[in-house]
């Protein structure tokens, strides 16, 4: 299948590109290095340097024999979008091309405006490009479990059948998020859902939980093929941050009471979920929604897991409850459904001691590169 990956340089985009070529697909990648630029601007560089996208693709071609065409440019600009779709007419598209960090979106007005403009404009341009160039293409778009928030009822897989005063209606599951970033993902869903109904688009929306890890089958022989590994509080996801804190002797920073519960998944499972969705596409006129995570943990549970494995490796890990910079419920009901991807064949990689100890060992080997001032800066929501 000819697959175009928007945001192909990112934490998930690049591993996805490699993974899909090993499964026999033709892949092209698009990126404007926004994530790299923003990390540099707020001075939160990843743990280790990664080659640029052209270099990565050359390395990967030398390793695997698979060539991945690269388009460098800004998908908020229609002229560039036309250039990409004229150059590589896809059968499927994976849309990762968004500003992906909730804390970044709350930094200040400029960061908020950038997040809103970038995320909505790219999604809109994608829709218009599909309409113009390839109306039957299947769009796999990364959403987030954060769109649902933490309602006091079960979170279903995308839709909710409501009974009200004796009548029934099936709604898109009502959403309310706890950051501007997550709110832009709700808007993406609104936009895609409108055009699915109006123009018969085919869309799979993957409501993904926080991802952890960095190793995939494709990175095993060459560390230069690893994805970004951010460990700061702005672009780093929580488990990756805890691993770095454990290695450096920084207490694990649990926000508030630590009862915040979310659905997590290993980066390997992200790749499988995206591939399974591509290989089993949605129908025309269908917005298909999967909740993409494999296990739920509270922040306290995650911290205790890292502490236990870290201590077994002689690290002496402490946990500290710090003032919560976010505005969110610290104790809440959380029972999200997630059967769709399992039915497509997902075989989850759970958060085992082995997985954690491999991550900790890798970070320990790069300990000299960790910048302590990146670990915890107290970016506040309010």
d(CA 181, CA 120): 11
Answer for the pair 268, 349: CB distance below 8 angstroms, yes or no. Answer: yes
Map the footprint of its own copies across residues 16-45, applying CB under 8 A: none
By beta-carbon proximity to its own copies, the closer residue of 109 and 378 is 109
Task: Please tell me the count of residues contacting its own copies according to CB under 8 A.
Answer: 48
- Asked if 255 touches its own copies (CB under 8 A), the answer is no
Compute CA distances 202 → 173, 199, 283, whole Å.
19, 9, 6
Q: Quick one: 333 or 361, whose CB is closer to its own copies?
A: 333
- Please select the residue that binds its own copies; options are 51, 174, 249, 316, rule is CB under 8 A: 174
Which residue among 1, 187, 344, 370 contacts its own copies (CB under 8 A)? 187
Q: Tell the smallest beta-carbon distance from residue 78 to its own copies (Å).
A: 7
Out of 65, 79, 167, 314, the residue judged to bind its own copies by CB under 8 A:
167
Please state, in angstroms and rounded to a whole number, the distance separating the CA atoms of residues 168 and 173. Answer: 14
Min CB(289)–its own copies separation in Å: 14
Q: Tell me how far, at minimum, the Cβ of 363 lies from its own copies, in Å.
A: 33
Give the burial class of 286: count Cβ atoms within 10 A of its Cβ; 0-12 exposed, 13-18 middle, 19 or more buried. middle
Touching its own copies, residues 116-135 (CB under 8 A):
116-117, 120-121, 124-125, 128, 132
Catalytic residues: 144, 181, 185
Q: Which of 40, 197, 350, 369 binds its own copies (CB under 8 A)?
A: 197
- For 343, other C-beta atoms within 10 Å of its C-beta total 10
Told to check if 370 binds its own copies by CB under 8 A, we report: no
Alpha-carbon distance 260 to 207, whole Å?
18
Tallying the residues shown for the chain, one arrives at 382
Helix (H, G, I), strand (E, B) or coil at 140: strand
Number of other residues whose CB lies within 10 A of the CB of residue 339: 11
Locus of tokens 């501007």? 180
Q: Is 181 helix (H, G, I), strand (E, B) or coil?
A: helix
Least distance (Å) from its own copies to the CB of residue 151?
Answer: 4
Q: Is 199 in the site for its own copies (CB under 8 A)?
A: yes
| 66 touches its own copies by CB under 8 A | no
Residue from 24, 79, 109, 378 that binds its own copies (CB under 8 A)? 109
> Least distance from C-beta 267 to its own copies, angstroms?
28
Sheet with 295-298, side-by-side order of all strands:
211-212, 261-266, 295-298
Q: Does residue 162 bind its own copies (CB under 8 A)? A: yes
Binding of its own copies by 180 (CB under 8 A)? yes
> Which range in 15-23, 152-160, 231-239, 294-302 contacts its own copies by CB under 8 A?
152-160
Distances (CA, A) of 233 to 168, 253, 260: 43, 10, 16
Q: Contact, 228 vs 263, CB < 8 A?
A: no
What's phi and psi for 106, nearest 5 deg?
-105, 5
Question: Cα–Cα distance between 136 and 264 in angstroms, integer?
Answer: 32
Footprint of its own copies on this chain (CB under 8 A)?
78, 109, 112-113, 116-117, 120-121, 124-125, 128, 132, 151-154, 160, 162-165, 167-169, 171-180, 183, 186-187, 190-191, 193-194, 197-199, 327, 333, 381-382
């Amino acid at each position: 299948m000819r697959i175009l990956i928007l945001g192909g340089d990112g934490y998930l985009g690049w591993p996805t590109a490699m993974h899909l070529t090993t499964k026999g697909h033709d892949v092209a990648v698009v990126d404007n290095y926004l994530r790299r630029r923003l990390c540099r601007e707020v001075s939160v560089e990843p743990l280790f340097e990664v080659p640029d996208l052209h270099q990565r693709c050359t390395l990967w071609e030398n390793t695997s024999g698979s060539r991945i065409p690269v388009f460098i440019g800004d998908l908020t600009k229609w002229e560039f979008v036309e250039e990409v779709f004229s150059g590589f007419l896809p059968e499927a598209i994976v849309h990762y091309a968004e500003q992906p960090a909730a804390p970044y979106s709350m930094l200040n007005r400029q960061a908020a405006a950038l997040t809103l403009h970038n995320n909505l404009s790219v999604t809109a341009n994608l829709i218009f490009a599909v309409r113009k160039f390839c109306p039957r293409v299947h769009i796999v778009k990364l959403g987030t479990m954060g769109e649902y928030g933490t309602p006091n009822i079960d979170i279903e897989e995308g839709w909710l059948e409501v009974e009200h005063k004796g009548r029934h209606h099936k709604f898109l599951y009502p959403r309310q998020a706890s950051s501007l970033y997550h709110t832009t993902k709700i808007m993406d869903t609104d936009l895609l859902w409108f055009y699915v109904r109006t123009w018969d688009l085919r869309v799979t929306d993957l409501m993904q939980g926080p991802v952890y890890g960095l190793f995939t089958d494709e990175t095993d022989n060459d560390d230069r093929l690893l994805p970004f590994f951010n460990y700061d509080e702005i672009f780093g996801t929580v488990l990756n941050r805890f691993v770095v804190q454990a290695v450096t002797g920084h207490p694990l920073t649990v926000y508030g009471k630590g009862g915040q519960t979310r659905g997590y998944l290993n980066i390997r499972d992200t790749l499988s979920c995206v591939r399974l969705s591509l290989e089993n596409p949605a129908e025309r006129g269908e917005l298909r929604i999967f909740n993409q995570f494999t296990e739920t943990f509270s922040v306290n549970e995650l911290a205790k897991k890292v502490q236990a494995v870290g201590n077994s490796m002689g690290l002496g890990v402490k946990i500290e409850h710090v003032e919560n910079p976010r505005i969110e419920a610290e104790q809440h009901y959380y029972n999200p459904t997630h059967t769709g991807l399992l039915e497509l064949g997902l075989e989850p990689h759970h958060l085992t001691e082995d997985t954690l100890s491999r991550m900790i060992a890798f970070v320990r080997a790069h300990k000299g590169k960790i910048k302590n001032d990146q670990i915890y800066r107290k970016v506040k929501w309010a």
